[in-house]
Chains A and B, each alone.
Chain A
């Protein structure tokens, strides 16, 4: 235990540095050493299996790599897919250490089955944003434009989380949406924006962030009605519970939160 405490110190120092650095690249560089140190002392080993919602792919891959770098004996495996598919696999008995869901509904599926160990806790949030092609050719300004049948518009199908959220937002705002397509997932909706085939799509802020310069994001106030919370938990039957807790701690650490913010997520409001 002594060694661990000792190792935390440089981590805090690094964190402080990164916080001062300000620019995102500095922050990313900072998280690497800090996060690893704060979460473990390099004595974790074996395999850590994390089931994570697809939207977490990039952030979690980075965090997993840090954990591996600081624990040479540890191998972090990710299974990224839609939250509902992951929840189904979990209830079918997949041997998993950590589950991070993109919504509380699918986490409930897991907790209803009594599979959770510690948690779940909400570790980040995501809100809807309007994605438009670079230059905004459809001159979209807000959510109301989704009622314009003359525009080529994409939303997610109501069966998938982003579609359910979109439906709720439209209902709240009293807008009858006129989409040309109801996409099977948020990435597919975004692809159509990137290709310039639709004038706007309703996606998550993180997706806009990830899409790069081809896509511009337009935040809108109605999005606050449908905040998407991401819960995470260690599973009761986790084969590697120590490493699992270390990963959850890493996600909740300042470094982990910074990485999430950089990817377009925001800190939980509650």
Chain B
């Protein structure tokens, strides 16, 4: 193995893993039981997992078609569209949260008529958590899937067309299975980003235990009061997300890649 690759790789891995080691070393292991038993931890964890999963599903439903449009269609202004879609990546999440208010808030462009005519308010609800997480995480999925679509051999789609498949059938029966590993990777990235989402969520959805308080919010607030509790909560979030990813890798990603 060439040293110019090996050495930076080793440094990079150490750099990525050390903060994790720090968390584990500094964790108050004796206090971990009572900390976990604390009311609200399970609630926040459950809410985090549910909302991140819902956000991922919404992202799949909307993001895969976006990726298809970006990768396959010939509509004008595609590069502008791509730049717009990836704006949430560069936008500070808190600003994203404020932007969501301006559209979906009680005084927002769409939120105001919803509130005034139907009495529906979106901020400070679990829906708002899912919306905020989707807003921040979906670009990760779109970029992954678009990359997979571009890398996939479009001539398979030609072959499907000559076999009588219209574009929708082609998409469902050929394109989608071909880029399934890319979609899976994008979904995992999206889910992980949604799980860790903080800024947009706390801004747009607020923080209320059981409704909108996800694990990252709980961690942040615990940090204000009791840094040890924050470490414990971080470890829980870390353990659960790692376990989920490993499980998915075996069950789903693994199969997708080998196909």
Contacts and interface: CB of A to CB of B under 8 A. Distances in A.
Interface string A154-196: 1001011000000000000000000111111000100110011
Interface in B196-226: 202-203, 205-209, 212-213, 217, 220-222, 224-225
Contacts of A180: 123-124, 206, 208
B222 A188 contact: no
Given A184-B217, A184-B221, A191 B98 contact: yes
Interface in A1-31: none
A160 B202 contact: no
Contacts of B205: 181
B207 A184 contact: yes
Contacts of A195: 98, 101-102, 105, 107
A133 B225 CA distance: 30
B166 to A, nearest CB: 46
A197 to B, nearest CB: 5
A182 B123 contact: no
A197 B206 CA distance: 11
A188 B93 CA distance: 14
A196 B209 CA distance: 22
A197 B224 contact: no
B127 interface: no
A79 interface: no
B254 interface: no
A42 interface: no
Interface residues of B, number: 25
The 9 closest A-B pairs by CB, nearest first: A181-B206, A180-B124, A159-B225, A196-B107, A159-B224, A159-B221, A197-B105, A182-B207, A157-B221
A247 to B, nearest CB: 27
Nearest to B111: A197
B35 interface: no
A188 B202 contact: yes
12 contacts: A180-B124, A180-B206, A181-B206, A181-B212, A182-B206, A182-B208, A182-B213, A183-B207, A192-B206, A197-B105, A197-B106, A197-B123
A191 B102 CA distance: 12
B207 A152 contact: no
A84 B202 contact: no
Contacts of B208: 179-182
Contacts of B224: 82, 84, 157, 159-160, 184
Interface string A179-221: 1111110001001100111000000000000000000000000
Interface residues of A, number: 20
Contacts of B106: 152, 196-197
Nearest to B123: A197
Given A152-B106, A160-B224, A184-B220, A197 B207 contact: no
Count chain A CB atoms within 10 A of each CB in B101, B206, B212, B227 and give the residue with the most.
Answer: B206
Interface in A87-145: 88
Interface of B: 98, 101-102, 105-107, 121, 123-124, 202-203, 205-209, 212-213, 217, 220-222, 224-225, 227
A160 B221 contact: yes
Given A180-B206, A184-B202, A196-B106, 14 more contacts: A154-B206, A157-B224, A159-B224, A180-B124, A181-B124, A181-B206, A181-B208, A182-B208, A182-B209, A184-B224, A188-B202, A191-B203, A195-B98, A197-B123
A192 B124 CA distance: 11
A159 B222 contact: yes
Contacts of B202: 183-184, 188
B124 A152 contact: yes
Contacts of A82: 224
B201 to A, nearest CB: 11
Nearest to A199: B106
Contacts of A183: 202, 206-207
Q: Which of B102, B213, B224, B225 has the most CB of A within 10 A?
A: B224
A82 B102 CA distance: 28
A184 B206 CA distance: 9
A179 B221 CA distance: 17
A228 to B, nearest CB: 16
A83 to B, nearest CB: 10
Contacts of A179: 208
Contacts of B213: 182
**Of residues B102, B207, B217, B222, which shows the largest number of chain A Cβ atoms within 10 Å of its Cβ?**
B207
Contacts of A182: 206-209, 213
A7 B98 CA distance: 50
Contacts of A152: 106, 121, 123-124
